[in-house]
Amino acid sequence: MRDEQRFEIERAFDLLPHVVGSSWAVIFFRLNGIKNPTREEYHKKVVEYFNELEPLFLKLPNDEKFQEMKKYIQNRTKIEIDKIMKGENKEVEKRYDRYVDYG
């Protein structure tokens, strides 16, 4: 697959973990009055909400020309979840720090 064919998906995966996962996690913790979740609790909640996007990730047709893109999406999803759980997604970590500091 050429780079230009996956450019938009790459950009989406650069943003979705913190824009969707972290935002929803913060809403969950804030509304439940949890001001100091552990990083592990936060990461798990981010992944939980990020995984809610799976139906969108599966939306591409089962046509042969989409198979390589679908495999890329599956692989990138696993990579992003692993990064979140290991604390290696810098944007997710910034959102966590901001929440526990300013709640």
Per-residue pLDDT tens digits for 24-71: 999 999 999 999 999 999 999 999 999 999 999 999 999 999 999 999
Binned at pLDDT 50, 70 and 90, residue 6 comes out as confident
Total number of domains constituting the chain: 1
Question: Span 2-25, mean pLDDT?
Answer: 91
Q: What pLDDT is attached to residue 10?
A: 94
30/16 Cα distance (integer angstroms): 20
Average pLDDT of the residues in 76-93: 98
Q: What number of CA atoms fall less than 13 Å from residue 35's CA on the CB side?
A: 3
The model scores a pTM over 0.85: yes
CA 20 to chain centroid: 7
- Which pLDDT band holds residue 1 (cuts at 50, 70, 90)? low
- Residue span of the structural domain in which 91 resides: 3-102
